[in-house]
Amino acid sequence: MSEPLHYLPAGELARRVRARELSARELVRATLDRIAAADRRLGAFLHVDAEGAERRAAEIDEAVARRADPGPLAGVPIALKDMIATRGQPTTAGSRMLAGWIPPYDATVVQRLRAAGAVIIGKLNLDEFAMGSSNENSAFQPVRNPWDLDRVPGGSSGGPAAAVAAGLCAAALGTDTGGSIRQPASLCGVVGLKPTYGRVSRWGVIAFASSLDQVGPLTRTTADCALLLEVIAGFDPRDSTSVPEPAPRLAAELGRGAAGLTIGRPRELELPGVDPEVTAAVDTALEVMVHLGATVTDVSLPHAPYWLPTYYLLAPAEASSNLARYDGVRYGLRAGPPGQGLHDMYSRTRGSGFGAEVKRRIMLGTFALRSGYYDAYYKKAQQVRALIAADYQRAFDEVDLIATPTSPTAAFRLGEKTQDPVTMYLADVFTMGAPLAGLPGISVPCGFTPEGLPVGLQLTARALDEATLLRAAAAYERATDHAGRHPPESNLTGASGGAG
């Protein structure tokens, strides 16, 4: 393999570390150098834990030396969206509200990564409290798209998508509530998977909308995606919504090919606002699937036009409740002049700690839950949600997978959509259906626009059927060469040429 170390798959890195062909310390050093060289331009990291990573790498090397197996992610440098609690390391949710807070425990997914031998290299930038589609809502800094520094990486997992695309870590974990893993994966040209609701523990993950939130991997290959999902998935008694199923075994699925699968294209999602280049790339991808032996057919999701209004009532309502905990009492920011009483302290803390988008959603959610409006807005949206889920049930009687673009456009310019919230919300028009119905979805790179920006294909599957998602995605990946393409090195380190 002629790839530089920073673009090698996580699985290959772990193999080399376990075989003593590469030391974990060497790998951490190379990763820290790569971050130092390229992240000044991208802004993907909020915190790099060089000391902890080097200490952990030394432990891994020691384990390998005494013939102990550190696990399937031995020495692999992994970074986390800063929604995921890490013991002893800052966790901010991209908000001034939590600046400086150090969690006293690791999230379940972090415990599982560490137990599999992963080295947690740092925490990644995001839209504040995971609310946004461009990463421009981070209280600290925007993230830039490694394919074009004037463009957004998508959001809310913009840091994870950009860091993985640019080789600043081998893989990352993000969170997805309405598209926050899949949409940035699409805009940055990487693989991003949102598991079935309940598949991955939410314990220790900062809550945004609890009936929708899921943690999932962002990787450069489908094999790495399967590898990470196997490690983080599975029942967790600490999460009351955890599905009592063991982690799926996925590696064997990857080689099965796409022959015999039926893929549906929802007629209702042939929308006027979709870029012709995106439509063309998705059409071509589905032709590839047909060549691989899959059948592509029309399918109907009649309530798809209502995904957006349903999502933007339910998610803000849940957020307004979840974010009530940021009140200046137990952790995080406290603001306001003393002597004005408790209510004033709450209001001023929240007024100065939250950014504009978070305030907008808290206001929207508070409105929807308000007595007198509850039935007309919140309950109505819950009923439409049931119809949306029923649409999928019927569709999956006929097909195994549903295919759409992940995002209606390739990466847009910084500042292009910040003035109009509804225009920004439309960036997730294809991705909100899966979380509303609790279903797994993946975005895989499926080509490039003439300007060289990545386009993503989204596949959605039945509940708990991540295996079929990854099987189809892996077959497609083998038949194309998108996974081997990396952002221009000149964007990242100023070097000319490079991996190309």
Partner 1 sequence: MALTEADVLEIARLARLHLEPDEVARLRGELSAILEHMEQLKAVDTSGVEPMTHAVPMRLRLRADEPETPLPVEEAVGQAPDRADDFFQVPHILKTAASGGEGKR
Which residues are designated catalytic? 81, 156, 180
State which residue, 211 or 262, has the beta carbon closest to partner 1. Answer: 211
In the complex, least distance from residue 193 CB atom to partner 1, rounded to whole angstroms: 16
Phi and psi angles of residue 230, each rounded to the nearest 5 degrees, phi first: -60, -35
State which residue, 290 or 363, has the beta carbon closest to partner 1. Answer: 363
In the complex, least distance from residue 343 CB atom to partner 1, rounded to whole angstroms: 6
In the complex, least distance from residue 234 CB atom to partner 1, rounded to whole angstroms: 15
- Going from the C-alpha of 78 to that of each of 142, 349, 438, the distances in angstroms are 21, 34, 26
In the complex, least distance from residue 41 CB atom to partner 1, rounded to whole angstroms: 32
In degrees to the nearest 10, what's the CA dihedral of 467, 468, 470, 472? 160
State which residue, 65 or 387, has the beta carbon closest to partner 1. Answer: 387
State which residue, 125 or 320, has the beta carbon closest to partner 1. Answer: 320
State which residue, 45 or 346, has the beta carbon closest to partner 1. Answer: 346
Contact criterion met (CB below 8 Å) for 161 and 187 = yes
Buried b (16+ CB within 10 A) or exposed e, 130-147: bbbbbbbbbbbbbbbbbb
- 193 membership: H or E segment, kind and range: strand 191-194
What single string gives the DSSP state of each residue in 59-108?
Answer: HHHHHHHTT----TTTT-EEEEETTB-BTTB---TTSGGGTT---SS--H
State which residue, 75 or 408, has the beta carbon closest to partner 1. Answer: 408
State which residue, 341 or 450, has the beta carbon closest to partner 1. Answer: 341
Degrees to nearest 5, angle at CA 30 with 136 and 4: 90
Neighbouring CB atoms inside 10 A of 12's CB total 18
What single string gives the DSSP state of each residue in 331-377?
Answer: SS---S-TTS-HHHHHHHHHHHHS-HHHHHHHHHHHHHHSTTTTIII
In the complex, least distance from residue 394 CB atom to partner 1, rounded to whole angstroms: 15
In the complex, least distance from residue 437 CB atom to partner 1, rounded to whole angstroms: 7
Bridge partners of 304, per DSSP, are none
Spatial separation of the C-alpha atoms in residues 31 and 25, rounded to whole Å: 10
Spatial separation of the C-alpha atoms in residues 163 and 143, rounded to whole Å: 10
Contact criterion met (CB below 8 Å) for 266 and 307 = no
Write out the two tokens for 22: 């590469």
State which residue, 261 or 314, has the beta carbon closest to partner 1. Answer: 314
Phi and psi angles of residue 415, each rounded to the nearest 5 degrees, phi first: 85, -10
In the complex, least distance from residue 345 CB atom to partner 1, rounded to whole angstroms: 5
In the complex, least distance from residue 478 CB atom to partner 1, rounded to whole angstroms: 32
Write out the two tokens for 93: 């949710």
Among 80, 76, 75, 77, smallest CA distance to 59 is for 75
